[in-house]
Amino acid sequence: MSDETFAAMRQSIIDGASSKSAELARQAIVLDIDPIHAIEQGYVPGVNHVGEQFARRQMFFPDLVMAGEAMKAALNVLEPELERRGEKRQMLGTVVLGTVKGDIHEIGKSLVSIMLTAAGFKVYDLGVDVPYDKFATRAKEVKADIVGMSSLLTTTMQGQRKVIEALDRDGLRPQVKVMVGGAPVTRQWAHDIGADAYGANAVEAVAVAKSLMELRTVTDVGAAL
């Protein structure tokens, strides 16, 4: 029974079927399937499949986004059940994410948010036009491992440096790693402003975030990316 359910869960993610993934999550609760098993053995394999197919150019951004939405729908059902049972899912890390002040571009940042969530990170998406200090405040509140910033404009790129300064002022560095992205942002820029990592796109951002969680020093991270 569980194997069939897990296969259906995996398929619901691949199909990007949010209503189906949520329905299967509710069924899992009725069937007393451990929510952690449902997530790890049912839904996560679907996310992994979509990610692999995307990397092979066999699936596309809409597949990726809709898979992420389907994952979110399932988690919205299963997380309260986890809490009720007093269980906790092992997350890969906690990420505070946003587009910096003065910039209202959302697509890239939202893709990164979806992909990180689907990959197993706890993501606090602060939205767009986010004041510099708010990154640090929220990172402190949620004990973030990573702060991620997006800028699409050459002018708002400067804001990424100011966010890092705010993190410094609040004594959050170096334990909070910083990753940056956005169309005009480059690896060199990330280095220049003292960020730990740069992600060229949403898929790379997941790999970068995983590296940041594994590596402990700025130098190590820089060498690895």
User: What are the backbone dihedrals phi and psi of residue 156, each rounded to the nearest 5 degrees, phi first?
Assistant: -80, -10
Edge-first strand order for the sheet with 121-125 is 121-125, 93-99, 146-150, 177-181, 197-198
CB 74 within 8 A of CB 9: yes
Residues at the site binding other proteins, with contacts judged by CB under 8 A = 57, 60-62, 102-105, 107-108, 111, 129, 153-155, 157-158, 183-184, 186, 188, 201-202
Q: Which is nearer to other proteins, 147 or 203 (CB)?
A: 203
For the CB of residue 69, give the shortest distance to other proteins in the complex, in Å: 15
CB count within 10 Å of CB 210 equals: 16
CA 25 vs. chain centroid, Å, equals 21
Q: Which residue has the tokens 């590596």?
A: 215
For the CB of residue 181, give the shortest distance to other proteins in the complex, in Å: 11
Q: Which is nearer to other proteins, 104 or 142 (CB)?
A: 104
- For residue 142, give both structure tokens: 């949620």
For the CB of residue 25, give the shortest distance to other proteins in the complex, in Å: 28
Q: Which is nearer to other proteins, 121 or 189 (CB)?
A: 189
Buried b (16+ CB within 10 A) or exposed e, 43-66: bbbbbebbbebbeeeebeeebbbb
Q: Which is nearer to other proteins, 120 or 199 (CB)?
A: 199
CB count within 10 Å of CB 90 equals: 7
Q: Which is nearer to other proteins, 107 or 142 (CB)?
A: 107
For the CB of residue 111, give the shortest distance to other proteins in the complex, in Å: 7
Q: Which is nearer to other proteins, 62 or 86 (CB)?
A: 62
Residues 218, 186: Cα–Cα separation, whole Å: 17
- For residue 74, give both structure tokens: 């399932």
